[in-house]
Each structure stands twice: as structure tokens, then as C-alpha cells.
Amino acid sequence: MKKLLIAFVLLPALLVSQKTITLEDVWSKGTFAPKYTQGFYMLKNGTSYTELKVMSDGSYGIAEFDLKTGKEIGVMVQGNDVKYNEHYLDITNYAFSPNEDKLLFWNSMEHIYRHSFKATYHVYDIASKKTLELSPAGKAMFPTFSPDGKKIAYVMENNLYILDLSTGREITVTGDGEFNKIKNGWGDWVYEEEFSKAEYFSWSADSRYLAYVKFDERKVKEFTLDYYKGDLYPVKYTFKYPKAGEDNSIVSVHVYNIEKNATTTVEIGTETDIYIPRIEFTNSANTLCVQRLNRLQNKLDYLFCNSDNGQSKVVLTEESKTYVDITDDLVFVANTGFIISSEKDGYNHLYYYDLTGKLIQQITKGAWDVMEFKGFDAAKNLLYFTSTESGAIHRDVCSVQLDGKNKKSLSDKKGFNDITLVSGNKFYIYSYSDANTPKFYELKSTDGKFVKILEDNSALKEKIKEYNLSKRSFFKFKTSEGVELNGWMMKPVNFDSTKKHPVYMYAYGGPGSNLCNNSWGGSDYFWHNVLTQKGYMVVCVDGRGTMGRGREFKHSTYLQLGKLETMDQIEVAKYLGTLPYVDKSRIGFQGWSYGGYMASLMISKGADVIKAAIAVAPVTNWKYYDNIYTERFLRTPKENKSGYEDNSPTNFVKNIKGKFLLIHGSADDNVHMQNSMELADAMVKNNIPFDFMIYPNKNHGIGGGLTRLHIYSKILKFVTENL
């Protein structure tokens, strides 16, 4: 009886553990979708937050909750009270004014590029329950409350406006904006993509001034995308896209004085072939900080500019023999100075300067990189940041005093640790994951004490137990040049070390971007498990040029993108081929974007070791890509012709021996389909067989609806038939 009972208990558990993952689980059903802590807003008191609540009548309300206990304090806004012209408004997207007496609601969003979108906005006064439409003339972009909460600045149709909330009067700040000619307060395509910023205006602390950047893009060449929407002729969309070596927008900086209704032009020098990646007011309302970057991107000036007369002076200059990164790490400290990050000592660290540009203190030091400056608590003179002190595959969270003393680790264990400071700096949200553990979120006080679990993804963890999954394990590999690289591998389900297995290599490889991280991989983790279920090993290695290992390692690919990265991946493939459980005749490579570029090089330059490759949305010659990204690492085609041609996949198609799948979205505004067309043309001219898949009207992400299911079904079929 005992034996029968044991069998009865164990058999169901065994059967459950043998469930297999399908592509539908990963890409359409949401079987493994994690939960997040998003959806609530921390109030300025630092002890409570707001969250959407379904009311008794089925409508939404915005309720206030105690942060520690989670108990409801009260309903701040009833959805049925929010209406305009007798129509109820959707309140699911909202933001508070600085003094939290008003709410901004938006709907009918239209995405433009990666960061920008326009929408219909309404302002709701909580006390009076009155609603005001932000821009009756059309959809607006980037609405931003003034610090005193009395006004909102926004962009509409390439012009900048201010709405006075007390009077309802709309102030026109600029009037010369015109599509594909002049943009005010809104960065052009290449700024938005490569400087990761779309809105280019800033309020002064006293709400008297609004500074903005004007982009004159009339000399920038145009690129046209065709959209196929069932009409007799394709719909054409033409926008300004400066490719490598081509003209940029001419930028200027201006400050609008609201009281005087006057605009001052800021002195930024006579050289027009420059970038203005950031503008931000200092703690002094009369002083605007302008960051000025030269075309080569190896000299960054911090200018302090007078808001009234436009006069400026260079306070600090950051220079490099290669390039200087643009970040959002600039923080002004009362009236004493400012904090920035810099790689000038060989690693990325935090520095404290006075307002004249004199160094007061290097705050962090060591043979590791500060990865993110998470925030500054002015009351305690305390900084928070994440770093690679435990290695490039990990992230540690630390705090340190402004003078560099009392550095403390806030990490619980090795893996990816992170924090988000909440209003008032009394608490932070701590998150953690590793390569095989979904992310969980906790609330902690800023002294590191645990308060409560916000989301532990327990349901996902239980769901995972039902499947026979392969885990990611980390390894190190040393190249023939003695360079040690970080990698992870996932061995096939029910791995048999006496058998030889095919390998699916996966990488991105671009400058300052890692995939070999001890963090939760989300959908990719389960996609790779689909492959391990079918007997494939999955391997990912970060080669030279990736981040977290200091300036020299990251900048080693300067002027020769693709050369060292390809060498590293080919050597990894050769190393894998020496392992007793790897079939060296069945090694493949897949990548997306820069990874697609790498896949195209691997199947051509690495033809002797790569049997099959999948390149999704690849760059195939850097002359086709935008100038900010490309010139940062290669300079211009005129200055560095060999850097462009020596590692262009289109020049090496004759080498291809294996199977090649090329995929692109026809409406990719980032890496244009031109790249894949040029590569395809070169392969046709050389009679090289390949598979080609175009996704109509899809951008660089190639997503939406069932598109991801379709693309990975295509990839899986290609892999199983050719690798």
C-alpha cells in the first residue's frame, strides 16, 4: 500500500513537470507574462500613493492608499465627475500637477517615433471638478506643468505653446514651426533616437522662463516609407533622416520670458555643425545649463547661460580621444555645484563640481562602472546608484555620501538589483531578478529596512514549475588574444553529455549594450526554452565593445565596428565546437538590429564555422544608418572609409556557404529596409541562395497583433530545417 500511495502521489507531479512550451505560450497567450508595480503614483507626502480603482458602478476612480499598509484612505477622483462637453473622459492615463491639485488626462494617442506621441489632453481641477481641454485646435505633445502648477507648456504642430490654467489663455511661444522644416521644443528624428530624448524645452524653477531648442531641418535630407493599407497606391510618409556624413539640423537655444512676452536667443557659439543634446535650468532661475557637443562627439561643453541677455560661458569641458556619452546624470546641488558622470579615469564614475567647474570630489572610484545614477537625496547629501562592482553580468545597488564616504551596498544578493526612489525619499522600491528568477519588487525604507512585498510574481514562479525548463548557466571564455568574455548557455532539456548537440548562438554586440546579464530574460528566456526542448543548446556571449567593464573594453571597437565583435563571436563558435557535447557542424547565429548586423557578418566572415544564420532588421553598411550613432563610433565615411567598408556584410556575401534567413519590416524608420535590400541585391548578383521575409508596415520592433508569433514561427521552422 505504501508503494502504491507513493506512485499515486508522484505520478501527477511528474506529468505536470513535463509540460512543454509552445510559441503561442510565449508570443500570443501571455502564459508567462510577469506582473509589475506600475500603475500607481507616489504622492509628495512620501507615505501614500494613488491607484485606479473600479467603483461600484463599474467606472474607474482614483483612490489614495497608505504605502505601508496598502489600506485605502479615500477616493480622490470619481470617474463620473470627469467630463468635458457632457462626455465622460477616460481617466486611466493620468498625471498630477506639481502641487497635486490638478490632473492631466490623455487619450487617443498616436505614436510618432520611438519616444514621441501626440494625444488629446484634458486638465481636471480636483477641488472645483472643472475640466479644461489643453489644445482644442489639435492633439498635443509633451504637456509639462510649470513648477508652480499654474501653467502647462506643450508642443503642437511643431510650435510651442503655454496654457495659463488660471485664465484659460493660450500663449503662443513660437509661430514658425512647419513640418519637415522647423521644429520648436521637439527634437528631430535622430535626436529622439540617439540622444533618447524627444521633448526639448525646460521650465525655470520659478516658472518665469521657458527655454527651448529650435531645430532647423531644412537642409536635412529626406527618407520616404511606403505603407500598404489596401489603397490603390501606397501611402507615403516622408521625414528627415540624416545618414552618416550628411547634414544635420541647425540648432539654436532660446528662452521665453513669460512676464515680458519676449524671447532671448542664447549664445552657443558660431559653429553650427554641433549638437545640443540637453538643456536644463540650474537651481538659479536666471541660469540655463546648455550641453554642447561637437560633431565628432568627443568634446562636450557645459555652458551656463543668462536667461535675460543670453550671454553664456563654458563652465566645464569633457573631452575624449574617442567619444563622450550623453546621459541624464546631471544633478544640481542647492547653490553649491553639480554632479555628473564621466569615464575620464577609465571607468564610469560620479563627480562633484562647484558652479565654476572646479572639481570638488570624485564621489565613486574603483575598477568598475557606475551603470545608473538613481537619484540624490539633498537633505541627506546621499547618492544612489547601480554598478558592476560584482562583475559586468551583475548589478549592485549602493548609496554613498556626496563627499565619497560611507559607501554602502543595498543589494541582497548577486544578480540584477535595482531601486526607484519614491517621493520624499523616505522609501524606495527595490527590485531583484537573476537569470532564472522572475523579477520581484519590495518596498524598503531608505535605511534599507524591509517594509513589504509589492509584487513577487509568485503566480509566474508556480507556473514555471509546471514546465521542464533549461536554466541559464554562466561561463567565461578567453580569446586567442587573451581577452576574457562573459557568456551564458542553456543546455537542451534532458541533456545527455554523451551526445553531440547543435548550438543556437544569440547576441546583440553593439557598443555599450549587454545581453549576457544575470537578470530575468522575459520572453526571450521562454523562446530559448522552446529551442532547448527541441535539443538545441542556446549560447550568448558579450564580446568587446559591450559595457560594464570599463572605458577601454567598451571603446575598443572605435573606428572599426564589426571587426573585433565578429572575431570574438567566431572564436566563441570555434571554442564551442571543441566541447564533447557540441556538434561543431551545426552551429548557428541569430541577432536583431545590431545583432542582425552581427548575424550577417557571421554567415559571411564566419562561413567556415556557422552553418545557418538569422538576421532581423540588420544594418548592412553603416553609411545607410543615422549620423549621430554611426559617427560616434566610426566618424564620417569620408574620414574613415575602411571602417565602413571593411566590415560591411554586403562586401563579403561571396563567402556565404550556409543557410541564411533575412527578415525586415517594410516601415522600419530606424534601420531602413534599404539595408536588407542592398544585402539581398548583393547575394542575388553572386547567386547566393537565401530566404527573405518582409513584414508589411512594421517598424524596427516588428510587433503588434500576432506578428511576433509569426516571426518566431518562421525562425523556428528555419532553425529546425537548417541547423
C-alpha span between 270 and 194 (Å, rounded): 24
C-alpha span between 351 and 315 (Å, rounded): 14
- Assign domain 173-326 one CATH number from 3.30.300.130, 2.30.30.100, 3.20.20.70, 2.140.10.30: 2.140.10.30
C-alpha cell at 592: 536583431
The pLDDT of residue 4: 34
CATH code 2.40.37.20 for 471-722 = no
C-alpha span between 680 and 686 (Å, rounded): 10
| Per-state percent for the chain, helix, strand, coil, to nearest 5 | 20, 40, 45
Residue 127: Cβ within 10 Å count: 7
DSSP E strand boundaries for 190-336: 201-203, 209-216, 222-227, 235-240, 250-257, 262-265, 274-281, 287-294, 299-306, 312-319, 331-333
Residue 523: Cβ within 10 Å count: 16
C-alpha span between 212 and 709 (Å, rounded): 43
Residue 285's alpha-carbon distances to 99, 208, 277, 335, in angstroms, are: 19, 8, 20, 11
Residue 288: Cβ within 10 Å count: 25
Blockwise average pLDDT, block size 10, the chain, 723 residues: 36 57 97 83 89 90 91 94 93 94 95 93 95 93 97 98 94 97 98 97 97 98 97 97 98 97 98 98 94 98 97 98 98 95 98 97 98 96 97 98 97 95 90 97 90 94 95 97 98 96 97 97 97 98 98 98 98 98 98 98 98 98 98 98 97 98 98 98 98 97 97 98 98
Alpha helices in 333-454 (DSSP H): none
The pLDDT of residue 42: 87
State the amino acid at position 86 in one-letter form.
Answer: E
Identify whether the C-beta of residue 692 lies closer than 8 Å to the C-beta of residue 662. Answer: yes
The pLDDT of residue 619: 98
The predicted model scores a pTM of 0.94
Domain boundaries, the chain: 173-326, 471-722
Identify whether the C-beta of residue 657 lies closer than 8 Å to the C-beta of residue 610. Answer: no
C-alpha span between 528 and 555 (Å, rounded): 30
C-alpha span between 683 and 390 (Å, rounded): 45
Burial class (CB in 10 A: 0-12, 13-18, 19+), 262: exposed
The pLDDT of residue 38: 65
The pLDDT of residue 551: 98
